[in-house]
Structure 1
Amino acid sequence: MDQDTSEGPGPEGAISALVDALRADESIVADTVRILLDTVPGYDGVSTDSLERSTRRNIRLSTQVIRDGHVPTGEDLTEAEELATERLAQGVSLGSVLSGFRVSMSVILERLLALAPTHGVTASEALSFSTGLWALADAFSSRALRVYQEQGIAAAAADSARRLQWIVDAVVRGHEPVELRRGVTAYAVPTDRAVRAFHLTRLQQEGLDPTGLVQFVLASVPGALAAPYGSAAVGILPDEGAVPQVPVELLLAVGPAVVPEDLPRSYLTATRVHEAALATGLGAAVDLERLSWRSGVATSPDTTRVLEQRLLAPVQAHGTFGDLLLESLAAYLDNDLNIARAAAAIPVHVNTLRYRLRRYEDLTGVDTQNLNTVVEIAWVLAARKGMNRSR
């Protein structure tokens, strides 16, 4: 019987070598400065020397998080206070400062993923560092925001609060026509094409400050509007025909394209998409098109229970061996019923996969080639994935 194993974390020496390589990589500094000047408003008045110094400071902070596995709190980030104070004096807005830091984090993460294999750090471990880096971005955002507030930007803060409240109301509840038109004009909501409401959360860190989620959207989607809403971020995306790229540790649920007056309807759909995505184990960006039939899983628990009794219970009674059968079955469906690709994905020998599929059929009495059965299995496995996530 095949046994499943998982790799442990890479040796400390490999991580130390990766940290040293990142600190010595001058391309991070050059790329970050170039992107800041090309894409983030307000940095054209900041000297290259200043941008290079702040980028090296960000590299030092990021590699310290990677090496130590500890993310400092906003209170501990004196670097954030120093940078925010400097940028404030240079006339850079808070939004640009936060966007600039996320640009820096993105470049560092990209180089981290590129360098990791050459230093013996596994891909899964390298990806795990992204959570720490985005948590660092959240802590930085919190401290930088406080600096701007403490420096007396009361008018700007008040305007920002009004803007955020307008976004929440436009999406969640709707505005009276006059107030809707005012905000559409003031906040540059597109009127020449449709817009889509969204609901964004972290999958494993509910309850944290949503500032980082807001900044992620603003940095990732040109023309987007975003605001905190509880532990989530909500807002408006210009309809470009496709949802943006989103890290797997986040869940971005997007509603259908509508005119601004119908944003609450789009948002209601987005919340239902979010609920169904959680129930079926989906992550990253999800809309109705990607969700497809999975929307029924969240609204039909009785159907799920019936299918579980027929398609899961007979297999789960066999313990670890049953788990292997279900793993093989999921790989089979995920790879479009292609035996060779499914076997390689686990990985096991193709004959092992064929054997496991036959044993599954023997235990449940179903035919995994039957279209209706395939749909039912996909349904119950999706529900199982969502249940495992919630534990």
Structure 2
Amino acid sequence: MPGQSGATAPLERVIAAMAAKQWNVGGRLHAELTDHIPSYRAVPRELLDQIWQRHFQRALAVVREGSVPAPEDFDEADVARDRVTRGVPLSDGLRAFRRALSAIRDLFIAEATERGLDPGVIVDRTKCLWELADVASVRIATVHRQAEVASALFDARRRADFLRGLLYGTLRAAEIHSGAAIYGLDLSRPYRAIRAVPNGKVGPDALERSLESHGRRNGGCALLTVLDEAVAGVVEAKPEIGDLEVTAGLGPPTDLAAAHGSFRAAGRLLEAARAYGLRGVYDLSDLSWRVAVVAEPELAELLLDRYLRPLEAEGEFGALIEESVRGYLEWGRHIREVARRAHVHVNTVRYRLRRFEELTGTSLDAPDTSVELSWALAARELGTPPRGPAGPAHGGVP
């Protein structure tokens, strides 16, 4: 280094003078940081003093030795974790660090000039301090981002654990209260459990973010996570999903302590909506008794045997009978409306309905027939195949 051999004593005097002014400079720097970087007001003075001590002593070592430590020798992980926890952005952390190094560099130049240090040494050590600022900034940025990722993963796991306990009913009352405080849930308000799966190419993580965004519109609250490849959580109101490719079940509103009951209902509703091939968010008012069709396959088989499979022996005509019976129920038993929509004569519809009654041994005017036949038709919508050798297979709506 220029002038190194003859500059040891003068350089040490400069370093001693700098050390004597460490805390005066540190006090001014602290006031400057809290004035110009608001996020640093959340950092206690004693912590700022500790990191100032670390930066200052490292800078003095660079001035003394004329070399900069390797990036891996900078231990900034504890500082990064603290700043992330306190919500200090990386940009603010880097601004604070560079202000600190600038103050140290200005102090060195002032003391070195006043004591007549060799100009070559001044230039060399000033360059070293610039390099220190660059190397340390890169290292600080790296560990800060690592700390952000670690913090995000921890928060995600903690949120998932809270929601899993809430939705499966394993949390104590105190845990529900503390979790609600952390995540901004109002214990005095009802919430609805939701369980959703993506329909298109979007993954569960992206679906979680989209649903949470939709759920929070209009001032609502939504807390969601990914559980078992599905998105699950609580919302205040039914989300408006727009073009989002999702199928979801939405449980009834309840207080948080009973959210597990709402979640069970949401699971049944999701299962039913998927079985019917539906897209969107569905609650019990949307699907009504059709949820039970999915949940009771044995009863569905019984009613299919009673009302629809007898038509299979009629071949294609049996399919036409089923079409007319379905229309008869859908259009309020108005035979003329059924005929109009099927583009056939009303007597054709009457004949098909009468033939249905003959084949099944039932009466379409009987209340039980309407209920049971609707159940059987809904089961047919689920893709329940015909049974037996006779007749063609009708896997969907005729």
Post-superposition shift, 1:259? 1.0
Determine the C-alpha separation between the residues in 2 that align with 1:340 and 1:284: 34
- 2:224 corresponds to which letter in structure 1? A
Greater CA drift, 217-226 or 271-280: 271-280
Post-superposition shift, 1:192? 3.2
Which residue is 2:307 aligned to? 311
**Aligned residue among 354, 361, 365 for 1:365:** 361
Post-superposition shift, 1:349? 3.7
- 1:211 corresponds to which letter in structure 2? D
What is the aligned length? 242
- 2:353 corresponds to which letter in structure 1? L
Unmatched tracts of structure 2, length 5 or more: 1-88, 93-143, 386-394
Structure 2 SS opposite 1:189: coil
Determine the C-alpha separation between the residues in 1 that align with 2:254 and 2:378: 29
Which residue is 2:227 aligned to? 229
Determine the C-alpha separation between the residues in 2 that align with 1:354 and 1:250: 42
Residues 166-315 of structure 1 aligned to structure 2 (within 5 Å):
166-202=162-198, 209-222=203-216, 223-238=221-236, 240=237, 244=240, 250-278=246-274, 284-315=280-311
Determine the C-alpha separation between the residues in 1 that align with 2:175 and 2:155: 15
Which residue is 1:348 aligned to? 343
TM-score normalized by the length of structure 1: 0.51
Q: CA RMSD in A?
A: 3.8
Greater CA drift, 260-269 or 152-161: 152-161
Structure 1 SS opposite 2:254: coil
Instruction: Check the 8 A contact 1:197/1:263 in 2, yes or no.
Output: yes
Determine the C-alpha separation between the residues in 1 that align with 2:177 and 2:167: 14
**350 and 177 in structure 1: CA distance in 2 versus 1, 3 angstrom threshold:** farther
Structure 1 SS opposite 2:365: coil
**Residue 376 of structure 2 corresponds to residue 384 of structure 1:** no
Determine the C-alpha separation between the residues in 2 that align with 1:246 and 1:276: 21
Once the two structures are superposed, residues 47-78 of structure 1 have per-residue CA deviations (whole angstroms, 9 ceiling, x without a partner) of: xxxxxxxxxxxxxxxxxxxxxxxxxxxxxxxx
Unmatched tracts of structure 1, length 5 or more: 1-87, 92-149
Structure 2 SS opposite 1:297: helix
Instruction: Check the 8 A contact 1:225/1:237 in 2, yes or no.
Output: yes
Determine the C-alpha separation between the residues in 2 that align with 1:163 and 1:343: 57
Determine the C-alpha separation between the residues in 1 that align with 2:362 and 2:199: 34
Instruction: Check the 8 A contact 2:273/2:282 in 1, yes or no.
Output: yes
- 2:209 corresponds to which letter in structure 1? Q
- 2:197 corresponds to which letter in structure 1? T
Structure 2 SS opposite 1:255: strand
**344 and 284 in structure 1: CA distance in 2 versus 1, 3 angstrom threshold:** farther
Once the two structures are superposed, residues 113-143 of structure 1 have per-residue CA deviations (whole angstroms, 9 ceiling, x without a partner) of: xxxxxxxxxxxxxxxxxxxxxxxxxxxxxxx
Instruction: Check the 8 A contact 1:279/1:383 in 2, yes or no.
Output: no
Post-superposition shift, 1:195? 0.8
Which residue is 1:102 aligned to? none
**274 and 258 in structure 1: CA distance in 2 versus 1, 3 angstrom threshold:** same
Structure 2 SS opposite 1:257: strand
- 2:265 corresponds to which letter in structure 1? T
Post-superposition shift, 1:236? 0.3
Which residue is 2:43 aligned to? none
Post-superposition shift, 1:312? 0.9
**279 and 349 in structure 1: CA distance in 2 versus 1, 3 angstrom threshold:** same
**201 and 350 in structure 1: CA distance in 2 versus 1, 3 angstrom threshold:** farther
